[in-house]
Structure 1
């Protein structure tokens, strides 16, 4: 039995070049990466493009790296798919090499017909000249081993002299070498002739912009890139990088993958004018959320906040569903981003004072900078991974996220989301510490897997830290503005005055009708103008009340939506059976019309047995229809005297069938010594307690041990409050909320996520619950989070009579 070798066609080399470097721009970037891997401090690209014929044009890439020895050229440069960078991944200066597939040299084939290389290795006198004609690979019927390249030794090679010789007809680049004092004692220059692309000014400009964001922003870059074009000698030059100091916020996060599994976060605030705050806005620090660090005035003066947060707290709930231990597959990473407002809003209040003490900024400059450098980009070992963060490429779906919660930073706390056109960010990873992040086969992007999906959720969690910080601050200034303008007080007084005027008008009209003015207290007659204004104000008050009713209806619909989502599987099963049950029954009855024969049939073919089964299903359907429709009854949208004991008795009856099927016991403990009524909308109480009960049912599912499923509602009077306690024996809050359990009341805050960190809950249930309690001037308090779940609801009785 003979052993036969494989043979590879020379055409394979061309396929590698074409498929891995779909654009000429990408091929140039790949060659620049090779300069970086050679420990070069400078890479210089020169387009010799004055000739009209592209085949007579050339592209040069100079560097001052370590150069290549003869052995490296033979063993690595000439070997396709070499793994030397995979094993020897660190350069002499400590850089992590960007290449690992061993196919980067085929970028040369993508760019031109002929490639030449002059190289001088460090600590050697002899240089080397290498040349290949890529058309040789097109010859039919030859294997790749039959294609050869020229290799020549260059004794006593003067690399600097060769660089100046190759660029002798372009004085600007020689001046650049001299002025920048670029070390040319070693390095490599590649000349690509017979260019396959036209390389117009438009294409070169696009390459220049791509190179500007090829390496992460630094004040002192370790790798400098320059680009020159003979056709436009004064248009390009050294790339400046993206370092920027005109920002509103800067957040830096670093995860070291240590025992604490914590992310160190630094937030730098630069949006508000400290001097303006000291002069005009110091009373903002009297607000509850602004009294303590990191929002007190002392923290503001420092303008920088630093703290640590555990990785699991950034994606709350993920640890409860993660069976693959995905968090431990996240390696070290860094994330930094700038937030920049790009438009100036008119934030003047009614008193013509600024709501927010913003610093001045140039809107046009910011817009231009964000258009060029905006988006969140990923850098692996100091080189950019495309296409993340390219213009219009919203890979974190920040736009969708913001559209779901479009409120501004000054509105309700917890609802603010950043817009994708206001952020410029850089994520730094390494192929050494982030082994789960592998390139796609086309070298464009990272393979989508569970770990990368979780990573995206973690990045969003870090962004949310900024959002919370800015939200609390801007909300406080917004509330201060409302307080100063006293809008609510003015409206209240206007409504009272309108009521007084209209009452006086009614008394006057009644006295006129009864013709008994002399026997009644003297009532002043309002003017026609007063009556008109009073009616207008009263109409406005009624309109606002109507809108409040609409909001309550929307809350109820939201709560009903949560219920439907909770029982969606059960409803789908019933719906599927409804489609075919009548047809099945007809088919069976047509076959067996003799009654005495029916008794002999097996149960699955007995029509009476089938009818009994269908009746059970109809009962379930009726229950769910009754329940869903009862939530929208008109009388529930009318404020009435709600008897607390009767309400919970009815609430338990509505849920009884559903809870029995889930083997859940529901107990009501009435500790009232007398009948208690609250002036309330039944629809509000339904929304509140439906959401709590749905969360309990979900909690029972998460608790895997054999336990008693029990929900208890107790209520008592502790003057001046009605105290309602809701508890269950479920899994409790996710342990990711141990530090700040009150976060569950924030809008869109949910621990219902899949193992990749993607949210599958709405995050509205507890937010709605807290909103309703606050509408009734009450308080809601979390009492137990680990041994089941318990909270207290305290409603002032007198205010709600």
Structure 2
């Protein structure tokens, strides 16, 4: 075989577009990369100028005052694309850890125009400026990228060290939305936080930037109601602190406490880089300002929250896109907030940051510069943040519950104190008018009791409606199965009808599918009727309620639901003495509906493999109380402490709202009863119990 010579891989000019503007479609991302380059160059400032960018042919100029580049830096760094530099231990003279990048963002920025001119003045070579001119048309005309030579020229200069990049003859105009997006990206690059340094400033000569800068720099951190601080050390151990608006530590949690707050918590240690988390939590309607909240101040405060809200990610001092961008809820904060809006932060009422300085290469940037590859280290880091948020939510909920108990106690004491004062005053009234005054007081107290009953009735309606919401969600989900069946059978009817004609034949072939459709429709009817039944007004009136009667009625009403889920339900009810309590029918139904729905949900979970699906509804009657319990043969209470299942937002299921058992808890407390749970009981699964004061008939 003859030797034909050596060849090299060559790249067509189209590859520049593939790796540049097509890979990184938004112009702001490329320009931000140039600003990040300035940071790595130890620049004290970076200025972005937009000249006639609203039309084709405009110019973008990025200038910094930094270290500049030598001819070798240009050849071995700036002009090499795709190389991921080893920057982890690279520290600048100013003490910055270099961010580093592959150069693809820089390429995307340079290709925004048809020409680019790079002028750089190295600090190590005073009075010298190197110039590189790039004419992209030459590449378009070439057969391969490497066929085009780039000349690096030098000349004398009196300008300060640094780099100026001119992107000329823009291929497309920048829309107003592009400029605003760029303005926000540059403003947020170093962050809006209180400890923001002045060693690196960025400016953009655009009205949007000036406007955003004013909004962001205003800073309303002193208006935070709470602040969460958490750390992750080099051993993967977490620690968290919850502070009030004044900076006083309200609670602290070690690694076990933080990790235990999340179902995915890593108790042995997170396999992630060291990190710090800070989240300021606000109340949009009642910030904790010392100053009076005037309309103008409120407007500025809300504008600030809307602009900078969310948890941002800062690697080596600079923000990483898109974490914290509007509409990008990378921590699912808004989803979790729906479980308990009062005590959980969302992206519109919190401002936070995750800070990572040294990651030892564990965090890998995506090629298109849109964040990090979701490898194991990043997933673990994200889980640390989520667990910290869960821990803070638990602390706030515990504080709220304690506060509510104390407030109720104080209210009862105040009512008693007031009654005693009135009774003492009555004894001082002359006997001639005392009966009349006593009658007036009795009538006033009766009116007050009536008003209180109305309030309690409204409260019961609210809780019943909450239960209806939970129940409706369950049944709405279950109706999907009959609907699917209907659709499948209708398709079967259509297909067979085309092949088989005639009434007799139609009945013989399609009789079974039609019958199945009818049964499915009956199930749909049941699912639709039950939520409406719970809302009937008569069920919201206080009365003596027979718990056994409600159990019988509810289990019969749920029968189609149980049959569809292939669940066997039996009752074990004590008939004598009577199981009567002072309550509303709706309250007892709400409790039982939540218990039954939880059990069926456990059986129908994809992770539950056993064919045994059994539920027992049991009542016990004692001289002073009635106990109602639901026992099942499911997996039990997994991934959650049995005392935590009653807390808002806590659920053993990912799709659960975490509100059902909280509603049960509140109802039982109002009825002066008790609640408890067993992780794995008589049937092997979970057991939930409530007890109420018994009424002797």
Q: TM-score range by the shorter chain?
A: 0.7 to 0.9
Given the alignment, which residue of 214, 239, 252 partners 2:229?
252
Given the alignment, which residue of 148, 160, 166 partners 2:159?
166
Question: 1:7-33, CA deviations, whole angstroms, 9 ceiling, x for partnerless residues?
Answer: 545465467554466666544432222
What is the CA distance between 1:374 and its match in structure 2? Answer: 4.0
Specify whether residues 334 and 230 from structure 1 end up closer, same or farther in structure 2 by C-alpha distance, changes over 3 A only.
closer
What is the CA distance between 1:60 and its match in structure 2? Answer: 3.0
Question: 1:19-53, CA deviations, whole angstroms, 9 ceiling, x for partnerless residues?
Answer: 46666654443222223334x26344486999xx9
Q: 1:684 aligned to 2:631?
A: no
C-alpha separation in 2, matches of 1:235 and 1:667: 67
Residue of structure 2 in register with 1:30 after alignment: 33
Specify whether residues 378 and 704 from structure 1 end up closer, same or farther in structure 2 by C-alpha distance, changes over 3 A only.
same
C-alpha separation in 1, matches of 2:212 and 2:622: 77
How many equivalent pairs are there?
Answer: 661
Given the alignment, which residue of 150, 156, 163 partners 1:189?
163
Contact 2:305 2:349 in 1 (8 A): yes
C-alpha separation in 2, matches of 1:585 and 1:82: 60
Residue of structure 2 in register with 1:91 after alignment: 90
What is the CA distance between 1:150 and its match in structure 2? Answer: 2.0
Residue of structure 1 in register with 2:430 after alignment: none
C-alpha separation in 1, matches of 2:497 and 2:177: 73
Specify whether residues 403 and 129 from structure 1 end up closer, same or farther in structure 2 by C-alpha distance, changes over 3 A only.
same
Given the alignment, which residue of 170, 186, 200 partners 1:224?
200
What is the CA distance between 1:744 and its match in structure 2? Answer: 1.8
Q: 1:666 aligned to 2:569?
A: yes
Q: TM-score, normalised on structure 1? A: 0.65
Residue of structure 2 in register with 1:720 after alignment: 624
Contact 2:594 2:661 in 1 (8 A): yes
Computing the radius of gyration from Cα coordinates, the structure with the larger value is 1
Which aligned pairs between 1:14-53 and structure 2 lie closer than 5 A?
17-19=20-22, 26-38=29-41, 40=42, 42-45=44-47
Residue of structure 2 in register with 1:292 after alignment: none
- Secondary structure in structure 2 of the residue aligned to 1:745: coil
Q: 1:418 aligned to 2:345?
A: yes
Given the alignment, which residue of 325, 339, 345 partners 2:281?
339
Q: 1:61 aligned to 2:64?
A: yes
Given the alignment, which residue of 268, 271, 274 partners 2:243?
268
Specify whether residues 310 and 242 from structure 1 end up closer, same or farther in structure 2 by C-alpha distance, changes over 3 A only.
farther
Specify whether residues 118 and 612 from structure 1 end up closer, same or farther in structure 2 by C-alpha distance, changes over 3 A only.
closer
C-alpha separation in 2, matches of 1:218 and 1:681: 53
C-alpha separation in 2, matches of 1:587 and 1:393: 50
Residue of structure 2 in register with 1:781 after alignment: 676
Residue of structure 1 in register with 2:689 after alignment: 792
Specify whether residues 658 and 557 from structure 1 end up closer, same or farther in structure 2 by C-alpha distance, changes over 3 A only.
closer
Residue of structure 2 in register with 1:151 after alignment: 152
Q: 1:547 aligned to 2:458?
A: yes
Specify whether residues 48 and 331 from structure 1 end up closer, same or farther in structure 2 by C-alpha distance, changes over 3 A only.
closer
What is the CA distance between 1:61 and its match in structure 2? Answer: 2.2
What is the CA distance between 1:564 and its match in structure 2? Answer: 0.4
Gaps of 5+ in 1: 168-186, 273-299, 346-357, 407-414, 498-521, 754-759
Contact 1:588 1:607 in 2 (8 A): no
Specify whether residues 680 and 789 from structure 1 end up closer, same or farther in structure 2 by C-alpha distance, changes over 3 A only.
same
Residue of structure 1 in register with 2:478 after alignment: 567
What is the CA distance between 1:796 and its match in structure 2? Answer: 1.6
Given the alignment, which residue of 546, 551, 555 partners 1:648?
551
Residue of structure 1 in register with 2:366 after alignment: 439
Residue of structure 2 in register with 1:277 after alignment: none
Q: 1:132 aligned to 2:33?
A: no
Residue of structure 2 in register with 1:379 after alignment: 314
Gaps of 5+ in 2: 424-432
Contact 1:559 1:687 in 2 (8 A): no
C-alpha separation in 2, matches of 1:236 and 1:581: 61
Contact 1:671 1:716 in 2 (8 A): yes
Given the alignment, which residue of 215, 223, 226 partners 2:190?
215
Given the alignment, which residue of 388, 394, 397 partners 1:462?
388
Q: TM-score, normalised on structure 2? A: 0.73
Contact 1:37 1:91 in 2 (8 A): no
What is the CA distance between 1:575 and its match in structure 2? Answer: 3.9
Question: 1:544-578, CA deviations, whole angstroms, 9 ceiling, x for partnerless residues?
Answer: 36535633642452353144045234332344367
Which aligned pairs between 1:523-602 and structure 2 lie closer than 5 A?
540=451, 543-544=454-455, 546-548=457-459, 550-551=461-462, 553-565=464-476, 567-576=478-487, 591=502, 593=504
C-alpha separation in 1, matches of 2:234 and 2:322: 26
Residue of structure 2 in register with 1:360 after alignment: 290
Residue of structure 1 in register with 2:120 after alignment: 118
